[in-house]
Structure formats: C-alpha cells, structure tokens
Amino acid sequence: MIIERNMEHTDLPLVVIPACFPSMAPYLERGLDVIATKARVRMHTDMTLDLDEIMARLENANVAMTTGIHFNNAMLDALAPTLRCLTFGGTGVANFVDVNHAHDLDIMVCNAVHYGDNAVAEHTIALLFEITHKAGRLDVRTRAQGWPGSDITEIGGMTMGIVGFGGIGHRVAELAHGLGMKLIVWARHPDTETLDRLGAERADSIDDVFAKADVVSPHLALNDSTRGIITARHLDMLHPGAIFLNTARAELVEQGALERRLNNGDIFAGLDVFDPEPLPDDAPLRDCPNTVLTPHVAWRSDKALAGIVDQNIRSVVAFLDGGSYNIV
C-alpha cells in the first residue's frame, strides 16, 4: 500500500518512506500531515529489504525516512544527485550506512536517541528471567508433556555486571537493583551519583566485571573503539553457571568467541542481537547449548516506536526548514 500527500505540487521537495515495519506504520501515517505542510510525501507501508526495490522507491527523493535498511556506498552514490537528508529509525546508524561517505556526498544523516532505553532494559531483564525461571520454555513443555518437572534459579542476591552506563545501562541497573541484585559497573565516564544511589561497585576494568559478576550485560554503542571489546579472554573469566546477556550489538564481542565459550556447556546466554542479521539458518549460535535467542526486538515496544517516529519527523521538518535535529 502506498500513501501519498501533495504529489501534485511538484515544486515541493519529495520525502519518501521506502519501507517500514507494520507496527511502525500507524505512527508514521499520523505524522505525514506535519511533513505535508512543507513537502510531497510518499509512504510505502510494507517492509522490504530488497535493495533494488528500495532504490526504485527512492527515485528522485530529497529526503528518505528509513528503518532497518542497509545502504552501501554505491546506493548512496546513486541517490546523491537528489537525496539531501536520510533519517534512520534507531541510534546505531553507523551499522547501516557509511556516515562519512554520506557526508562527503552532502547527505545529512539523522538518527533517534534514547527512545528505547526502557524497552531494551526490560527486554534484557526478560531474557534473564527466561534463563533463570524458564517460563516460556516450561509453557511449551507443559502443553506438550503435561507436567514436566524443573528447578528454577532466583536472581535476588546475584551480581549484575554492566559494561557501559548510558541510558540503557542506567535503566538495567535500576531494574536489577529493584530485583535485589548487587551491581558492578564499568564505564569510561561513570555517573558516580547514580552508582552511589544504587549502591553499585565501580569496576576498574572490564576484567573486573567478568571476574566478579554472575550476570554480565554490555550496553555500549558500537564504534571503532568498542568493536570486539569483549574478548574470548573475558568470556573465559565467567564462572560456571554465569549468564551473558546482549541486547546492544553482537559486534561488541570478538567474532566467534561467544560460540566457543557456550559450547563448553557451563554458561548461559540471552541474545537479541547477532552478526549478521537476520540470523542465518546455519548460524552456529542456533545449536549452542543454554541459549535464549530473540530476533532483535528489544527496541520494538509501542512507546519506543512512537518515540522513533516523533524524532525522525522532527529531523525531517527541521531539515525542510533549513535547520537540523539529531544529526549524526
């Protein structure tokens, strides 16, 4: 389905939404009238990752509002004659587009920030609960087997180790503290006031977190300095029975290191992010023991989706007015 506004006014800039998640479509549609006061708008309400189709839909676009689409440099080059602004429905835009190359082509790139701090934090804790309390797996087994026996594990009193202490890390710490967990946190720029309020231990290094924690959860942005920052050596520090959670970026972990550690069979992992995505059918992680896997959905709550759309629309309107908002 295609929704259009002002298409007869060919003197106006063209804003195109080439694809969107179905759950995001209602929020985007409600925002179209705001953009239509300043531009033509064409919105495709389906989600496709077919790059040829994406390029066809973006023909002559001056602004592209995108979510989940990977733009290679050749695509940017082809769009550059008309495209002047690209908004991304998320924070980690550098995983989807070469920002420096876009800048070289005079394409403004905008993202959305802090929209999903609570959603991602809650999902992190949900993965922890599924590993320790097994509610989802026991539901499946109870329906299939009648009355399966199983022990569970309490998380109260466990030590939660957090690597990175931005918005999501803060919220994970608050939730974990509320559940009676102890906290140890490593961050380059620690918020000492919050750490003190939560009674958290400030780690001197990432090594300290992996050596002392029962549960480790990284919450770092992915960039050149953080890619592979969690190494096989760190994972080997986890004690038997420890839990590794990742709702941030898979690339924070040294390639192949987590699979190797999991195959020892003595730790657990709850993962919402992978490299590559979608997770291939033959990905080794699918066969690793003691894992709970979800398909990168931690950010997709109703409130988070509304926040993304609101920020992206503000970015588009600011660009059309000759200004800027959330430039990367």
Q: Which residue has the tokens 């920052």?
A: 229
The pair of structure tokens assigned to 240 is 């038997």
From residue 151, alpha-carbon distances to 86, 131, 138, 154, 260 in Å are 50, 11, 11, 10, 26
Catalytic residue among 201, 249, 251, 261: 249
The pair of structure tokens assigned to 107 is 């394409």
**For residue 9, which amino acid is it?**
H
Question: Is 254 one of the catalytic residues?
Answer: no
Contact 294, 246 (CB under 8 A): no
Question: Is 174 one of the catalytic residues?
Answer: no
Q: Which residue has the tokens 């918005």?
A: 167
Catalytic residue among 4, 59, 154, 277: 277
Catalytic residue among 84, 137, 296, 300: 296
Contact 5, 316 (CB under 8 A): no
The pair of structure tokens assigned to 213 is 């924690």
Q: Is 29 helix (H, G, I), strand (E, B) or coil?
A: helix
Question: Is 170 one of the catalytic residues?
Answer: no
| Dihedral Cα 80, 85, 88, 94, nearest 10 deg | 60
Q: Which residues are catalytic?
A: 249, 277, 296
